[in-house]
Amino acid sequence: MMKEEEHMSFMRRAIALAIEGVESGAGGPFGAVVVKNGEIVGEGYNRVTSSCDPTAHAEIVAMREACQKMNTFQLEGCILYTSCEPCPMCFGAIYWARPDKVYYAATKEDAAEALFDDAFIYKELSLPSSNRRIPFLPLLNQEGKAPFESWMDKEDREAY
Amino acid sequence: MMKEEEHMSFMRRAIALAIEGVESGAGGPFGAVVVKNGEIVGEGYNRVTSSCDPTAHAEIVAMREACQKMNTFQLEGCILYTSCEPCPMCFGAIYWARPDKVYYAATKEDAAEALFDDAFIYKELSLPSSNRRIPFLPLLNQEGKAPFESWMDKEDREAY
């Protein structure tokens, strides 16, 4: 078990990365660190604007790095430290990567004050598709089932 | 305005990519295409297991490719065609990338039948942090506000 002091030290690294990202012009004020067995296995800061990648949020950058380094697509036994409570995209990414737990410093409300309004996306998620700002429209549902048939027929499929 | 026939043709490409991804062993049965002005500017299939990247869902692969190609982090004027209704991670990514609209073929329910239970993540999103399968714990909130101060002080900050 890690001591509270160690958790704080990793969180301070995530916060320092967030500030470094702002100062270097990489992107928004967010940093994250992935730790396994008391060691950093992935880290990063937001790079959305500098890398032309809307998905390059700090948590995703750090988790992708950790996965590359450990040659896995699962973060069992890992802890994610993020300088701010995750947005819905990063929340989903966390659930797919499955670290053991997540520590966050600033809250969604702090982010909203700096005009990062993740709350808007959380709200849209709860609306029926027809009422959303970005329309989500069904098309070719029957044909769309074919890939699942290929998947179920594949004997050596690797679930995730 | 595109005709219905054109929308169907792009969706069939997304579905074909999903099947190609399964057959090549790249990952799960999902494909996606980003279209601007009637031309494909990004496309891809799920590569989670083969690329050791839990975020490499088809929609994210296709949107990242489109952004790289067009040297932007925003997909205004674009349409995303995805072989299956997006999971919460991809939903969030779509809201950050901001295409004009999204067409999907298979539904979340079809995905759940093939044991891709995005519904679980949607459900977890609606729970208070303390009741979630992956715990989300607050730590160093006051220190966590510092990156937002750096951000607000930065005169040449680029919002997204």
Give per-residue pLDDT as tens, B2-50: 789 999 999 999 999 999 999 999 999 999 999 999 999 999 999 999 9
**Using a CB-CB distance cutoff of 8 angstroms, which residues of chain A are in contact with residue B3?**
none
Residue A68 has pLDDT above 90, yes or no: yes
Tokens at A85, concatenated: 């409570």
Predicted confidence at residue B28, as pLDDT, reads: 97
Across residues B145-156, what is the average pLDDT?
Answer: 96
Predicted confidence at residue A85, as pLDDT, reads: 96
Residue B43 CA, chain-centre distance (Å), reads 12
CA nearest A15 in B: which residue?
B144
Query: Cα(A136)–Cα(A138) distance, rounded to whole angstroms?
Result: 7
From the list A102, A145, A154, which residue is nearest B134 (CB)? A102
**Using a CB-CB distance cutoff of 8 angstroms, which residues of chain B are in contact with residue A113?**
148
pLDDT 10s digits, A25-44? 999 999 999 999 999 999 99
Residue B137 has pLDDT above 80, yes or no: yes
Predicted confidence at residue B82, as pLDDT, reads: 98
Using an 8 Å Cβ cutoff, are B60 and B47 in contact?
A: no
CA distance B141 to chain A (A): 4
Percent of chain A with pLDDT over 90: 89
**Using a CB-CB distance cutoff of 8 angstroms, which residues of chain A are in contact with residue B12?**
140, 143
Query: Cα(B39)–Cα(B24) distance, rounded to whole angstroms?
Result: 25
List, in sequence order, every residue forming a beta bridge with B19; answer none if it has no partner: none
pTM to 2 decimal places: 0.96
List, in sequence order, every residue forming a beta bridge with B93; answer none if it has no partner: none
What's the burial of A109, exposed, middle or buried (CB within 10 Å: 0-12/13-18/19+)?
exposed
What does pLDDT average to over chain A? 95
In eight-state DSSP terms, residue A131 is: G
Q: Report the length, in residues, of chain A.
A: 160
Enumerate the H helices of B24-145 as residue ranges: 48-51, 58-70, 88-97, 108-113, 118-125, 141-144
What does pLDDT average to over chain B? 95
Predicted confidence at residue B126, as pLDDT, reads: 87
Q: Do A74 and B85 touch (CB under 8 A)?
A: no
Q: Do B148 and A29 touch (CB under 8 A)?
A: yes
pLDDT band at A146 (very low <50, low <70, confident <90, very high): very high
Q: Do A152 and B114 touch (CB under 8 A)?
A: yes
Using an 8 Å Cβ cutoff, are A109 and B148 in contact?
A: no
**Using a CB-CB distance cutoff of 8 angstroms, which residues of chain B are in contact with residue A97?**
54-55
* Of A56-60, B8-12, B37-41, B112-116, the least confident: B112-116
Q: What's at A128, amino acid-wise? A: P
Residue B101 has pLDDT above 90, yes or no: yes
Predicted confidence at residue A126, as pLDDT, reads: 87
Q: Do B145 and A106 touch (CB under 8 A)?
A: yes
pLDDT band at A46 (very low <50, low <70, confident <90, very high): very high
Helices A146-153 and B4-23 meet at what angle, rounded to 10? 10
Using an 8 Å Cβ cutoff, are B94 and B59 in contact?
A: yes
Residue B117 has pLDDT above 90, yes or no: no
pLDDT band at B119 (very low <50, low <70, confident <90, very high): confident
CA distance B13 to chain A (A): 11
3-state secondary structure of B134: coil
Residue B122 CA, chain-centre distance (Å), reads 14
Across residues B49-62, what is the average pLDDT?
Answer: 98
Predicted confidence at residue A118, as pLDDT, reads: 87
Predicted confidence at residue A128, as pLDDT, reads: 86
Q: How far is CA A154 from CA A148, B22, B70, B88, in A?
A: 10, 8, 36, 26
Residue B63 has pLDDT above 90, yes or no: yes
Q: Do A8 and B140 touch (CB under 8 A)?
A: yes
3-state secondary structure of B119: helix
Residue B154 has pLDDT above 90, yes or no: yes
B100 vs B116 pLDDT, higher one: B100
pLDDT band at B111 (very low <50, low <70, confident <90, very high): very high
B59 catalytic, yes or no? yes
Using an 8 Å Cβ cutoff, are A125 and A132 in contact?
A: no
Tokens at A29, concatenated: 């004020």
Across residues A101-107, what is the average pLDDT?
Answer: 97
